[in-house]
Amino acid sequence: MSKINQIEKALKEIDATVFHKLMDAYLAKHYSYRIVSNGTKLGENKPTTGTPDSRAELDNDNYVFILEFAH
């Protein structure tokens, strides 16, 4: 099994909250912006209602709102 197939299979097995935290961690590492998570309860693996899931705080005092979901 190729590495890509292994990653795809592992992503299919995680729930939405874990996926949300994974994407926040990826974005924080890949970009130098501060990522603020709104979509999960602090210290828990439970989602919160509403959007956006996260926001990136840019250097010019603007924000990028992030909606994370998987099919």
Q: Read off the pLDDT of residues 45-65 as tens digits, 9 standing for 90 and up.
A: 666 676 787 889 998 999 999
Q: Read off the pLDDT of residues 23-42 as tens digits, 9 standing for 90 and up.
A: 888 988 998 888 888 766 66
Q: Determine the pLDDT at residue 46.
A: 67
3-state secondary structure of 39: coil
Q: Find the angle CA(19)-CA(32)-CA(52) to the nearest 5 degrees.
A: 45
Q: What is the mean pLDDT of the chain?
A: 83
Where residue 44 falls among pLDDT bands split at 50, 70, 90?
low
Q: Determine the pLDDT at residue 68.
A: 77
Tell me the torsion sign for CA atoms 71, 26, 66, 48. positive
